C-alpha cells in the first residue's frame, strides 16, 4: 500500500464531498440536531406532572399535605374540585396525570394518631411515566406521614427506625441528560459513518467510474482507507461538536480522560466506517446500502445498545442479540468515562470488542471489494 495513491483517493473523495455541499452540511448538522432533539425531548425525569386535588377535609393537616406536594417541581396543581366524581373527567381527557382525594376524616385521624388514608388515582395509559409519578407521589406522602409521626413523638428519629440517607454516585443529581447525552454521541457517529460511507463504493459502480479505478494500479487497501479517510475526519469533528454541545447546552462534563474518550471514539468510528464500506461494496446500490445501513447501524444503536432501554429488562433472545451490536460496548465506554471517570483498566474489555468488530468489518469490506475488483 503506497501513501501517494491512498492520499490521491482521499483527495478525490474529499472533492466529491465539497462539491456535494448538501451532504457535507447534513453530516455536520446531524450531530447538533440529534443532540438537541434527544437531549431535550428524551428524558426519564418527572417534571411538572399535572395533578388535580379533591380536599374533602378542608383542614390545616390537609393543606399541609397539599403544600408539600405542590411545593415540589414534580407536580403542578391543575385544579381543586369539591366532588370526587369530577376527578374522572380530568383523567379521561388527559388533562391530569394524577388525582388526589383527601377524605373528610383525614384531620381527625391525624389528630387522634390513627391511620389516616388518602386515595391517589393515576392515569395508567402511559405506564412508565405513570409509574414514576406514582412513586414520586408516594414518596412525598410518606415524607408527610414521617413528619406527622415525628411531631407526635417529639423526636428527631423515631425509636426502632433507621435514618436512611441516600447518596447517588457518578450522577449525584440523577439527571437523565447526564446519561443520555453520552449515548447520543454513539448515535451521531453511526448515522454519519454508516449512512455516508454506505454510498461511496456503490456510487462508483452506478456512475461507471469503478471500471476506471479497476484499470489503475490502485490496491484494495488503498481504495478502502482512502475512501474512509475524509469521513473519519468528519466523524471526529462531529464527536467534538457533540461533546462541546453536551457541555455548553446540557452542562454534562467529562469526569474522565477526554483524550481516551476521543481515542476510543475513533476506534468505534472506524468500525462504523468499514460497515458502511462493506454494505456499499456488497450491494452496489446507494438506495439499498443506505436502507440497510439504517437497519444494521442506526436502529440497533437506538434500541439494542442500552442507550435508551436497559438491556437487563429485555427478553433473553434480545439480550443475546445485543452482544453483536458494537454500540453496546461503546455506550459502556462513554458512560464510564463521562460519569465514572474510569480508564482502560476498567474499559479494556469493551475496547477489545470494538477492535475485534473493526477488524471483522475491515476483513468483510476488503473481501467483498476484492471480489468486485477481480
Q: Rounded to an integer, what distance in angstroms lies between the CA atom of residue 195 and that of residue 331? A: 20
Q: Which domain holds residue 230?
A: 3-43+175-373
Region of residue 48 (left: phi > 0; alpha: psi -120 to 50; beta: else): left
Whether residue 162 is contained in a domain is answered as: no
* pLDDT for position 336: 92
pLDDT of residue 56: 87
- Least Cα distance to 261 among 320, 323, 181, 315 occurs for 181
Q: Of 153, 185, 206, which marks where a domain is finished? A: 153
Domain membership of residue 169 (yes or no) is no
> Residue 329 and residue 315: Cα distance in Å, rounded?
19
Q: Contact at 8 Å (CB) between 192 and 231?
A: yes
Ranges of H-type helices in 218-336: 220-250, 258-283, 286-293, 299-303, 316-321, 326-335
Residues 261 and 366 in one domain: yes
Q: b/e for 218-245, b at 16 or more Cβ within 10 A?
A: bebebbbbbbbbbbbebbeebbebbbeb
CATH of the domain at 60: 3.40.1710.10
Beta bridge partners of 119: 101
- On whether both 71 and 7 belong to a single domain, the answer is no
CB-count exposure of residue 43 (10 Å: 0-12, 13-18, 19+): middle
Same domain, 87 and 231: no
Please count the other Cβ atoms lying within 10 Å of the Cβ belonging to residue 167: 5
**236 in a structural domain:** yes
Domain-embedded: residue 202 = yes
Q: Tally the domains of the chain.
A: 2
Same domain, 274 and 289: yes
Strands 75-81 and 98-102 come out as unpaired
> Is 160 part of any domain?
no
Cell numbers standing for residue 17: 464531498
216 and 122 within one domain: no
With respect to residue 165, please indicate whether it lies within any of the assigned structural domains.
Answer: no
- How would you write the pLDDT of the chain (374 residues) with one tens digit per residue? 677 777 887 887 777 777 777 777 777 787 788 788 877 777 777 778 899 999 888 888 888 888 888 888 888 888 888 777 778 888 888 888 899 998 888 888 888 878 888 888 888 887 778 888 888 888 888 888 877 776 766 655 555 555 667 777 777 777 777 888 888 888 888 877 777 777 777 777 766 676 666 667 677 777 888 888 888 988 898 889 888 888 888 888 888 899 999 999 999 999 988 988 888 888 777 778 778 888 888 888 888 888 888 888 889 899 999 999 999 999 999 999 998 889 999 999 999 999 999 999 999 888 877 544 44
Residues 334, 198 share a domain: yes
The string of pLDDT tens digits covering residues 7-43 is 887 887 777 777 777 777 777 787 788 788 877 777 7
Residues 241, 148 share a domain: no
Residues 201 and 304 in one domain: yes
What backbone torsions phi and psi does residue 68 show, to the nearest 5 degrees?
-65, -40
Q: Are residues 194 and 315 in the same domain?
A: yes
Supply the pLDDT for residue 163.
Answer: 62
**Same-domain status, 262 and 195:** yes
Same domain, yes or no, for 207 and 141?
no
Q: Output the pLDDT for position 264.
A: 94
Whether 108 is covered by a domain: the verdict is yes
Residue 59 inside a domain? The answer is: yes
Contact in structure between 179 and 257 (CB atoms under 8 Å): no
| Residues 86 and 119 grouped into a single domain | yes
Amino acid at each position: 500500500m503506497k501513501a501517494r495513491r491512498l492520499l490521491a483517493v482521499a483527495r478525490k473523495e474529499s472533492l466529491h464531498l465539497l462539491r456535494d455541499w448538501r451532504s457535507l452540511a447534513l453530516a455536520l448538522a446531524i450531530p447538533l440536531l440529534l443532540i438537541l432533539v434527544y437531549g431535550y425531548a428524551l428524558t426519564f425525569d418527572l417534571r411538572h406532572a399535572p395533578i388535580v386535588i379533591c380536599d374533602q377535609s378542608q383542614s390545616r393537616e390537609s393543606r399541609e399535605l397539599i403544600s408539600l406536594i405542590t411545593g415540589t417541581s414534580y407536580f403542578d396543581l391543575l385544579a381543586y374540585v369539591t366532588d370526587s366524581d369530577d376527578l374522572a373527567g380530568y383523567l379521561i381527557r388527559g388533562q391530569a396525570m394524577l388525582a388526589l382525594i383527601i377524605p373528610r376524616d383525614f384531620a381527625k385521624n391525624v389528630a387522634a394518631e390513627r391511620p389516616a388514608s388518602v386515595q391517589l388515582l393515576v392515569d395508567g395509559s402511559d405506564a412508565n411515566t405513570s409509574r414514576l409519578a406514582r412513586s414520586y407521589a408516594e414518596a412525598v406522602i410518606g415524607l408527610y406521614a414521617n413528619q406527622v409521626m415525628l411531631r407526635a413523638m417529639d423526636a428527631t428519629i423515631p425509636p426502632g427506625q433507621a435514618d436512611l440517607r441516600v447518596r447517588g454516585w457518578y450522577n449525584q443529581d440523577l439527571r437523565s441528560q447526564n446519561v443520555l447525552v453520552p449515548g447520543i454521541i454513539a448515535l451521531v457517529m453511526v448515522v454519519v459513518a454508516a449512512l455516508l460511507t454506505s454510498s461511496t463504493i456503490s456510487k462508483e459502480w452506478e456512475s461507471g467510474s469503478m471500471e476506471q479505478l479497476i484499470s489503475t494500479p490502485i490496491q484494495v487497501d488503498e481504495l478502502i482507507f482512502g475512501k474512509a479517510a475524509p469521513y473519519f475526519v468528519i466523524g471526529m469533528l462531529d464527536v467534538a461538536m457533540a461533546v462541546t454541545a453536551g457541555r455548553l447546552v446540557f452542562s454534562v462534563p467529562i469526569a474522565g480522560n477526554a483524550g481516551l474518550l476521543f481515542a476510543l471514539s475513533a476506534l468505534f468510528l472506524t468500525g462504523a466506517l468499514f460497515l458502511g464500506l462493506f454494505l456499499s461494496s456488497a450491494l452496489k446500490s446507494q438506495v439499498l446500502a443506505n436502507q440497510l445501513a439504517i437497519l444494521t447501524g442506526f436502529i440497533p444503536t437506538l434500541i439494542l445498545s442500552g442507550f435508551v432501554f436497559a438491556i437487563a429488562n429485555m427478553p433473553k433472545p434480545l439480550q443475546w442479540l445485543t452482544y453483536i451490536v458494537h454500540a453496546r460496548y461503546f455506550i459502556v465506554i462513554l458512560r464510564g468515562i463521562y460519569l465514572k471517570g474510569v480508564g482502560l483498566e476498567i474499559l479494556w474489555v469493551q475496547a477489545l470488542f470494538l477492535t475485534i468488530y473493526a477488524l471483522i468489518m475491515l476483513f468483510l469490506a476488503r473481501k467483498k471489494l476484492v471480489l468486485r475488483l477481480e
